[in-house]
Amino acid sequence: MRKTKLWSFLLGVDGILVDDVTYEEESRTLVVSARPKAGKRNRCAHCKRRCGKYDNGDGTRRWRGLDLGTTFAAIEAQAPRVRCPEHGVVVAAVPWARHGSWFTRDFEDQMAWMATNMSKSAISNLMRTTWRTVGKVIARVAKETGAKVDRFANLKKIGVDEISYRKGHRYLTVVVDHDSGRLIWATPGKDEAALNAFFDKLGEDRTAKIELVSSDAAAWYTAVIQKRCPKARLCLDPFHVVKWATEALDEVRRDVWNDLRKSGRAKLAESLKRSRYALWKNPENLTPKQSIRLAEIAQVNKPLYRAYLLKEQLREVFKIKGIHGIVLFDKWRAWARRSKIAPFVELAKNIKHHRTGIVATLAEGLTNARVEAMNTKLRLITRIAFGFHSPEPMIALAMLRLGGLCPPLPGRG
């Protein structure tokens, strides 16, 4: 009995009886031969209901646990099958692992925690697994923790967006809770079906309680949102509006650069090419070198610098928000229209059609910072997830990192 107590403690597992402990020299693994305690035996892996034993399954199996120091550790046990009236013939549940896994629960929880806090290579090296295995593990963990919490409770303000990955060939549709700042839903694809799936999952009652939906200006979003929650106020995500201005600015920069090159001023053209990031970045994040570059642009290239100011002014609109933001927005439109800078004249013309959505955003006080931060983090996750073989582990990683689904570190919850 003392043996059982010691090993349940070391492995962090309740409800097991330990029969034997051996050390396998070749694989440098401590093998703990165990079985579930009487009350935990012969239970369906899905509903945990007590069932009749069906057969011995594939016999003895091994589950890898957290290393003990530098030594591998594994639990070895029989894996019989049971017949559940609801789920049919399934491998019986074991108290130390999730269904379908070859790792212990603690091993998987630690891996999930690491995936939200550490780099890809650090996890693979420390846990001695491949990145693909990490993907499978976190998908399992996120599925379980996601089923335990109600992510859709008290939803009032949501943001819908799409994130491209695999060099823009694939998409995820994501939904964010503006109040908590959390990611609450992500699914592959960017079409009506993807967004409809969210509202289906949310259910009619809760959908009716949604007061505000922000998204980009794509028509298909608007159509689905208007159909599914007609009472919600439609807002335009500040992130996308500022992005239009950034794109217009980049167009101006390219034109100026081309003109300089064609007129033989190669040195100036080259310096402008390097100033791309200085123009893109938010001024508060500029490095001293980039600030100097920007000052140079102000000196030698007035239209480009004015284009930069136009972009920054539009960002300012969403920082100020409220009624003052709306006034500033209308002033901005007038300024852009008269700017004689073609891409901004064009933008002023197009943005007119989105005034209602932008005014709603400003009146509701939606800030760009949060949406922009979420986009940046999601883009990073899609890059880290490269190497997973399906979108599920990537979605799991996003939910663990940004959806608050990460389990606590084993032994420290």
Report the interface residues with Zn ion, using CB under 5 A. Answer: 44, 46-47, 84, 86-87
Return the number of the residue (58 or 86) whose C-beta is nearest Zn ion.
86
The SS3 call for residue 37 is coil
The nearest distance, CB 43 to Zn ion, in angstroms, is 8
Which two three-digit tokens encode residue 341?
Answer: 């800078």
Return the number of the residue (46 or 231) whose C-beta is nearest Zn ion.
46
The nearest distance, CB 85 to Zn ion, in angstroms, is 7
Phi, then psi, of 224 in degrees rounded to 5: -65, -45
For CA atoms 266, 268, 270, 276, give the dihedral sign. Answer: negative
Distances in whole angstroms, Cα of residue 185 to Cα of each of 18, 75, 107, 227, 311 = 41, 35, 26, 19, 31
The nearest distance, CB 107 to Zn ion, in angstroms, is 25
Return the number of the residue (84 or 317) whose C-beta is nearest Zn ion.
84
The nearest distance, CB 82 to Zn ion, in angstroms, is 8
The nearest distance, CB 14 to Zn ion, in angstroms, is 21
The nearest distance, CB 100 to Zn ion, in angstroms, is 14
Return the number of the residue (46 or 302) whose C-beta is nearest Zn ion.
46
Which neighbouring-strand residues pair with 381? none
Phi, then psi, of 49 in degrees rounded to 5: -70, 145
Question: What does DSSP say about strands 16-24 and 60-68: parallel, antiparallel, or unpaired?
Answer: unpaired
DSSP tally for the chain: helices H, then strands E: 17, 12
What distance lies between CA 318 and its chain's CA centroid? Answer: 24
The nearest distance, CB 140 to Zn ion, in angstroms, is 18
Return the number of the residue (47 or 118) whose C-beta is nearest Zn ion.
47
Return the number of the residue (46 or 156) whose C-beta is nearest Zn ion.
46
Determine how many CB atoms are found less than 10 A away from the CB of residue 340: 9
Return the number of the residue (47 or 122) whose C-beta is nearest Zn ion.
47
Give the residue nearest to Zn ion (CB).
44
B/e letters for 357-392, b = 16+ CB within 10 Å, e = fewer, are bbbbbbebebbbeebbebbeebeebbebbeebeebb
Q: Which residues contact 81 (CB under 8 A, 6 or more apart)?
A: 53, 54, 55, 56, 57, 89, 90, 91, 92
The nearest distance, CB 53 to Zn ion, in angstroms, is 14
Return the number of the residue (82 or 396) whose C-beta is nearest Zn ion.
82
H or E segment to which residue 34 belongs: strand 29-36
- Are 159 and 176 in contact, with CB atoms under 8 Å apart? yes
